[in-house]
Chains A and B, each alone.
Chain A
Amino acid sequence: MAMTLAEAIIARHTKDPVEPGAICRVSVDFAFTNDITGPPAIKEFKKMGATKVFDPMRCAILPDHFSPAKDIASAEQIKECRVFADEQEMLFWDVGRVGVEHAFLPENGLVLPGEIILGADSHTCTHGAMGALATGVGSTDLAAAWALGETWLRVPETMKVSYEGTPSEWICGKDMILALIGKIGVEGARYMALEFHGETLAELDLDDRFTLSNMAIEAGGKTGLINPDEKLLKYASARASRHFEPLFADKDAVYAKSISIDVTGMEPQVAMPHLPDNVKGVSEVTGTPVDQVFIGSCTNGRLSDLRVAAKILKGKKVYKKTRLMVIPASYEVYRAAMKEGLFDIFLDAGASISTPSCGPCLGGHLGILASGERCVSTSNRNFVGRMGSPKSEVVLAGPMVAAASAVAGHICHPREIV
């Protein structure tokens, strides 16, 4: 039977028959939590009567959400993770070495093509861009994977998403994924895998591909897969921490649904409060005042995101009533951005630069919103209260719109600033 990429990867990891809707017991190649989902996973792992993780080099905890510890309670949570990781001799990186998990893991060759990756974090789907079946689960599921080295998965139906056409210079991966979510809605791919295709995708750099896959969950998707190409395999091979064998969808695979998005003539997209599918072209909301801008997160905190933001900010100042926070997603990104001189551009513009962390994305720290405030954010969710006060607002956008809005003090098209 011809298989989609999700089916092919599951088939390699199970003895059960693989067809959409079937439940399969699959082996897991890598399983990780963060500092929020870690402590409940540890508790459940112990309740299960497990004593050792299945393979300490394939099990990890990455404290990135409330780290560097924002208060005593989060310090205790991170300590619990650190102590457990130490006992288990499993992978753990502390402040100064870790980054936002979904930026850090691919950089360090810990998620690889053809693998099954479980993360106790909903944005684990990001690693679909590596050609891995990567999906988010809760803490108990993750604990079970640590204990058994396997999990159960329902074989997802796959939605094929083809990006065609030639984008303008103002379009990036974020606009492409927001356009999809706006079209299919926040549950348009519920229980399904997305598989991205198309001539535009082939041209896209890896950072933008991670952005695409990252927001598959915002359409309800289990993962956002991209078939490995030469560009990806070169990246993965140079960094791989273990042997891997990529898998590909069959040419005649059967898709539950196919959708095509033409990027020619597309204008930058933004998602207005309070759902990621409340998507508008930027011109429809130009002029909406902005108190804060956040450039960072597992969605858009990578080097190319910071580069395009810096290009817009160069020689400009952040509007006097607006504040701009830049948080590189990993130390690799941090160092590269610093060496390229991007930090000078941000600092000259009047932006803050913080250490790698999820920061304000989920309302943790480093830029929480007060009531009545509005933030343009390059992150992935704009739910009620996501970034602080339940009376605040988050508008999702790509790094170019975010940078331009910081300068203008209101939502605007980057072309108006440059």
Chain B
Amino acid sequence: METFFSGKAWVYGDNVDTDVIIPARYLVTSDEKALAEHCMEDIDETFACGVLKGDIISAGNNFGCGSSREHAPISIKGSGVSCVVAKSFARIFYRNAINIGLPILECSETDRISKGDIIEIDLAEGSITNKTKGETYYAKPFPEFLQELIGLGGLVPYVQARLSEQSTVQE
């Protein structure tokens, strides 16, 4: 799994909900690219057409609140965003992002990041370096179990491993 990213920042405030990340009118598919075309469009019409591979989203508290739709982190991942950094995440979005392998970091200093700042992220270190401002911020470390899950590449490989353990036991 890639652990080093670099890109420009897209900045949003508190309580970015999953309805604005991907409106329900587009939930007639779960295709990553199709969803990405409409990512964030109800709060930022410039995002879907302007986002480049590696860019990051920086936000305030409670990012991803609302619906359980996994289409929200899928659309962000599909848009090419490498990582979402927020002061806090709503719990279902937090699980979903880890499960599908969209890197997220909890960091209390996202107010320091301005739109367009060039950001480098080192997931292994949990560091967020703002090249534009010459500053480095650190993310809150994940609980041990989640580090394992992230290391495996998400929930799918975890379940694959568990199922093959079960079938070995049965044999």
Which residues of chain A have a CB within 8 Å of any CB of chain B? 23, 36-37, 39-40, 43-44, 47-50, 65-66, 71, 73-74, 76-77, 119-122, 124, 136-141, 143-144, 147-148, 152, 154, 186-187, 190-191, 217, 220, 222, 275, 362-364, 381, 383-386, 390
Contacts and interface: CB of A to CB of B under 8 A. Distances in A.
13 contacts: A49-B159, A137-B92, A137-B95, A140-B156, A144-B159, A187-B61, A187-B65, A362-B24, A383-B20, A385-B23, A385-B42, A386-B24, A390-B41
B127 interface: no
Interface in B69-109: 69-71, 73-74, 88, 90-92, 95-96, 99-100
Contacts of A48: 156, 159-160, 163
A355 B154 CA distance: 39
Nearest to A47: B156
B67 A141 contact: no
Contacts of A385: 19-20, 23, 42
Contacts of B158: 144
Contacts of B160: 48-49
Given A43-B30, A147-B163, A220-B91, 19 more contacts: A40-B30, A48-B156, A48-B159, A49-B164, A50-B163, A119-B68, A122-B67, A137-B92, A138-B70, A139-B30, A140-B96, A144-B158, A148-B159, A364-B24, A383-B20, A384-B17, A384-B43, A386-B24, A390-B41
Contacts of A43: 30
A390 B99 CA distance: 29
A190 B91 contact: yes
A143 B143 CA distance: 23
Interface centre among B19, B29, B99, B158 (most CB of A within 10 A): B19
Contacts of A44: 155-156
B62 interface: yes
B156 A122 contact: no
A121 B88 contact: no
B20 to A, nearest CB: 5
Contacts of A141: 95-96, 99, 155
Q: Nearest 4 A-B pairs (CB), nearest first? A: A73-B28, A138-B96, A138-B70, A140-B99
A136 B62 contact: no
Given A122-B67, A141-B155, A384 B19 contact: yes
A96 B50 CA distance: 45
Given A40-B71, A384-B19, A385-B20, A140 B155 contact: yes
Nearest to A40: B30
A383 B16 CA distance: 9
A386 to B, nearest CB: 5
B156 A136 contact: no
Contacts of A121: 67-68
A187 B159 contact: no
A124 B91 CA distance: 14
Given A71-B28, A384-B42, A36 B69 contact: yes
Contacts of A124: 68
Interface in B1-54: 15, 17, 19-20, 23-25, 27-30, 41-43
A275 B19 CA distance: 12
A381 B19 contact: yes
A74 B29 CA distance: 8
Contacts of B17: 381, 383-384
A363 B145 contact: no
B131 interface: no
B126 interface: no
Given A222-B91, A364-B24, A140 B70 contact: yes
Contacts of A65: 27
A74 B158 CA distance: 31
Contacts of A187: 15, 61-62, 65, 88, 90
Given A48-B160, A50-B159, A383-B19, A37 B24 contact: no
B43 to A, nearest CB: 6
Contacts of A386: 19, 24
A140 B71 CA distance: 11
Contacts of B41: 390
Contacts of B19: 362-363, 381, 383-386
B15 A191 contact: no
B92 A136 contact: yes
Contact of B62 (A77, A220, A383): A220
B162 interface: yes
Contacts of B73: 138
B66 A122 contact: yes
B60 to A, nearest CB: 10
A363 B24 contact: yes
A226 B73 CA distance: 32
B95 A186 contact: no
Contacts of B67: 121-122, 362, 381
A50 B160 CA distance: 8
Nearest to B93: A138
Nearest to B91: A191
A136 B68 contact: yes
B100 A220 contact: no
A152 B95 CA distance: 10
A121 B23 CA distance: 15
Contact of B15 (A66, A144, A152, A186): A186
